[in-house]
Structure 1
């Protein structure tokens, strides 16, 4: 399922499409680099143009994890997000061999951190391309009206996805909901609540107009679909503590009957891509030098052609219950070198998984798809949302995850939670389940923030309340804005 979908099919043409996105953004804090000569006046004329523009709008999502943007990869939630928590240390070759990650680990984060700057630049690039679609595609004549509606809905999804990454990183950011003209570039920051309201409105449009991927052929894989939009809305709602919305959208998601949990150890293997428990993934391939992910190389051991970053702490490993099969599916050990020697298996390559080592494009070009939203995550979000109003059902959904984790092992292995469990004990059980089920997938930092557990867990590691809940606005962007952008507490 690597190259048979349209998200990858047209990526060779993305340079041309990205040109269409250049709309005189020079000398402003939303600037993106141009490539070649502008062709905007000749583009957005046909349905094929619209499809290619859509693929360009997906490309920043892929770039953030891709081989071509080293510091973008370092800025992902998978790596940057969870470094400095109780789950992972920076790792690497020595104490300060990756200064931006070391700065996050020690909570000594300057406004010049280059990984943080990539979060800003790549996401606003994606927003620009989505805005171009939403401005230009409505006037294109389509013979397939449903596909036109889907393209527009996917652009709304992408705009929501990019803004969600921004608001989680920086708090309130400039709300750019159109293609900017000259003189409109310096936009002040909207509030965090305003950005979240915008994201929710975008996803509501998307949910209404997108089909389920299960009604499409395999070429559709990689496109956002109804399930992806609902799943993202659940996460957006969870991060705002809107538990009623998490419940509502969870119940919508669970009406799609094709979603089912699969054996845990297969999820991150090649055969696990787009399985029935996968709600949204970012596709990658190692069959070309520009379509692979850089995550695998960055978090693999130095002795296995990797960067050695993101090594698991003992506390995370001890969180797993005895004989939990997820432990061996999550970690592997390579002794020697700097750090704990415990690495994340989920985005590994052979011999630690069935994902082959790259043979084209260098050692950092891996085929592993990034799993963005999984059904188990949705079950646990739903369980957390209802734990205090319907504990019996909450336990039921946690036990779905635990039963799948246990597999064919005896009932004493990852045993079901008692049906009578409730209150804080149930909530703690959900927190435990999220930590072990989703280990190494980039959720721990945000989970600790939103559940107010920073005093006990993050503050002893250097976290400063009132400051590190968000990252600094990049210094370069504040400077370009000529004072319009107001810095966070840095």
Structure 2
């Protein structure tokens, strides 16, 4: 999403919709460099094609917010896993230790922030879906924008359902107290709504965009996300079918693993969906992603040093696997871009390499350090590994081996002495190999925690950290939401 219409972008930067939600972000990647001109009230909005574009641009812009990509998201989706530690200094944001040790309660602020962030996304999507159909505009563009909103709504509900189980299901903007204060839908009902949105989106979205719109949701993104949603429900024939389709859409792995995550390879041939972020000098509203800032090397170039790779993750890589250095910045090493990684006593000795932005990258006091780093949400390597897992579960070891080999071949980088081919056709052994490949290929990308739970291995893998069965499969529903509902929302067991 590199460039958008001037007028639509200005409106996306700051508009008030339904009198309740202030949108102060845009989703341009490199074009908009002017501050918001005004705050537009709802009664003068939803009139034109530019308004429709602005509303969907604002949906994308909100995806890079603090709740979606910083502490709340990293706590709920990463720090709890065995691949990550809290990071930073011992006493800095010590409340994040509750995720490492499974002491989180329903009053935790990060759980609430994550919940609110997803429902903010959903609210913005619902406003698009409720209002854009009534705008007189190009019919094909209207259909595409509605499909983009359905994709983002599905993505946000997927993040909610795997974190909390059944949640409130809002498919329209509530207009009455009863519509707003709904009880939780079942897990199955939420998944059904997600799958319908993704089916609808995939039927309309293009396979690719012109340069001006690169970064918007595509058909491949909708199909790949649907495959992941189906994987969490163990719908293996559907996972296999969807990933087979995505594998025919022209995606490919970049030759060098580490390069996948660098600024100059954003939206590459391996990218299925990324959250678009940008540095716009002097424009704080348009450059607000703190994804890289909170994870960068502590006290170097203004980074904070949270969500650091664990010793367990460092030990998980096979000898010689270049993905180890592509995933982890080790203190004492120098990056290919020339940055020496240092650490004070008591600070982490490892940092995540994937959100790394070179220290000399442009920056100003209005914007977070590294705010131009896109967040990789779905990569083609993930599609290949979902395909391998589904094929193995269905007894097709040949296809499973072919798909996992594509991932290992890239990691091998032409060196036959490392990462030998997986050759076993025993279903149990091959399943373990695929699980391991997901661990090292997708490390620090917010999948490991929920992968282990869906695989039924959490009691063994996370048990030493305090994880308890029949409780920690999900996080607590935020207590403030239960209180506001006057008990209509119910709490998850054990909390």
TM-score of the pair, normalised by structure 1 = 0.89
Calculate the aligned-residue CA RMSD, in Å.
Answer: 2.2
Choose the corresponding residue for 1:472, options 471, 476, 482. 476
Structure 1, gaps ≥5 residues long = 24-31, 67-71
Choose the corresponding residue for 2:329, options 324, 327, 332. 332
Choose the corresponding residue for 1:285, options 265, 268, 278. 278
**Residue 264 of structure 1 pairs with residue 270 of structure 2:** no
Partner of 2:405: 399
Partner of 1:89: 85
| Residues 74-128 of structure 1 deviation map (CA, whole Å, 9 limit, x = unaligned) | 111x45422132211112111x421431111111112111111111112111111
Choose the corresponding residue for 1:132, options 109, 127, 136. 127
**Residue 447 of structure 1 pairs with residue 451 of structure 2:** yes
Choose the corresponding residue for 2:163, options 162, 169, 177. 169
Conservation of the 8 A alpha-carbon contact between 2:12 and 2:23: no
Partner of 1:358: 363
Q: C-alpha distance in 1, partners of 2:45/2:389?
A: 47
Choose the corresponding residue for 2:431, options 427, 431, 436. 427
Partner of 1:111: 106
Q: C-alpha distance in 2, partners of 1:128/1:63?
A: 14
Q: C-alpha distance in 2, partners of 1:232/1:7?
A: 28
Counting only pairs closer than 5 Å after superposition, residues 145-160 of structure 1 correspond to structure 2 as 145-160=139-154
Counting only pairs closer than 5 Å after superposition, residues 203-282 of structure 1 correspond to structure 2 as 203-213=198-208, 216-282=209-275
Q: C-alpha distance in 1, partners of 2:204/2:5?
A: 19
Conservation of the 8 A alpha-carbon contact between 2:89 and 2:348: no
Partner of 1:372: 377
Conservation of the 8 A alpha-carbon contact between 1:268 and 1:347: yes
| Residues 181-237 of structure 1 deviation map (CA, whole Å, 9 limit, x = unaligned) | 132321110011100000000100000011111xx2111112111011011101111
Q: C-alpha distance in 1, partners of 2:67/2:23?
A: 21
Partner of 1:413: 418
| Residues 141-176 of structure 1 deviation map (CA, whole Å, 9 limit, x = unaligned) | 12x321111011111111111111111111111111
**Residue 193 of structure 1 pairs with residue 188 of structure 2:** yes
Q: C-alpha distance in 1, partners of 2:63/2:368?
A: 21
Q: C-alpha distance in 2, partners of 1:443/1:80?
A: 11
Conservation of the 8 A alpha-carbon contact between 1:7 and 1:55: no
Matched residue SS, 2:293: helix
CA 479–15 in structure 1, closer or farther in 2 if over 3 Å, else same = farther
Counting only pairs closer than 5 Å after superposition, residues 47-66 of structure 1 correspond to structure 2 as 47-64=49-66
Conservation of the 8 A alpha-carbon contact between 1:5 and 1:222: no
Partner of 1:309: 306
CA 363–157 in structure 1, closer or farther in 2 if over 3 Å, else same = closer
Partner of 1:6: 4
Count of residues in Structure 1 that have an aligned counterpart in Structure 2? 464
CA 10–438 in structure 1, closer or farther in 2 if over 3 Å, else same = farther
Q: C-alpha distance in 2, partners of 1:124/1:371?
A: 21
Q: C-alpha distance in 1, partners of 2:247/2:13?
A: 39
| Residues 257-276 of structure 1 deviation map (CA, whole Å, 9 limit, x = unaligned) | 24444421210011211111
How far apart are residue 381 of structure 1 and its match?
0.7
Matched residue SS, 1:82: helix
CA 160–62 in structure 1, closer or farther in 2 if over 3 Å, else same = same
Conservation of the 8 A alpha-carbon contact between 1:187 and 1:484: yes
Structure 1 residues 161-170 or 200-209, which shifts more?
161-170
Conservation of the 8 A alpha-carbon contact between 2:207 and 2:220: yes
Matched residue SS, 1:6: coil
Matched residue SS, 1:161: helix
Structure 2, gaps ≥5 residues long = 25-37, 332-342
Choose the corresponding residue for 2:294, options 295, 298, 305. 298
Partner of 1:342: 350
| Residues 443-490 of structure 1 deviation map (CA, whole Å, 9 limit, x = unaligned) | 110011000111211111101111111111111111111111111121
Conservation of the 8 A alpha-carbon contact between 2:147 and 2:204: yes
